[in-house]
Amino acid sequence: MGQKNYTVESSGHRISAFLDMAIGDMGLDLGFEILEGQHLHPDLEDPDLLVKFSGEDVDSLLANKAELLLALEFLTMEVLRMPAEHHSLLCFDSNDYRTLRIEELRLSAMTAAENVKRTRRPFHFNPMSSRERRIIHLSLRNETEIRSESTGTGPFRQVVVLPVDMPLPEPIRPPRPGPPPRGGPRDRDPRDRNRRSGPPRRGGPRP
């Protein structure tokens, strides 16, 4: 086994100091443990360090597809000044969310591959992080009839699965924001200006 880039001894104190500050600022009831890396899935994930969270507010950490967990992970990478090619070496997890997510992505990749083989039409995944794109690519690396490519830019970068002999299609661009919803004062039918709510008035003026 080669020498690790990050260990509990070399990086644990910096991770702990940052997380203590961040969790305290957010007012969350969370604890964490910094461990040497574990095999989250054969051939797919083998991080140097694993940070496991527990506590009353774990549900908040994992809400919206673990948005907060992944944000804390990314900010910690920035604190450690990890280059992009090292991002897979640090993993934050709670309640085995990452292990389950890896399996979900692996099964999605297999399903997409079978669909492309059958239809010979490209399959576009939704935009995802570089780490999740890597899982898709590794899951399909032994396929001979299809291939996977990353396309798009920034937060819209996505994986496309396509026949091995097909040119890479243009990325599916996110929809442009539509016009503001109608219904404001300027959008009302001019005839409505003389309409009144409720039943029609009868007789003389109101008291």
Spatial contact of 47 and 40, defined as CB atoms under 8 Å apart: yes
Cα 9 to Cα 6: distance, rounded to the nearest angstrom: 8
CATH entry, 8-95, from 3.20.20, 3.30.300, 3.30.1490, 3.30.1330: 3.30.300
Query: Which pLDDT does position 172 carry in this prediction?
Result: 73
Query: Distance between CA atoms of 122 and 117, rounded to whole angstroms?
Result: 9
93 sits in which H/E element? strand 90-93
**pLDDT for res 65:** 87
Residues of the chain with pLDDT under 50: 184-207
- Is the whole model's pTM more than 0.75, yes or no? no
Q: Please report the pLDDT score of residue 2 as a whole number.
A: 59
Domain boundaries, the chain: 8-95, 101-163
For domain 101-163, the CATH superfamily is R3H-like domain (3.30.1370.50)
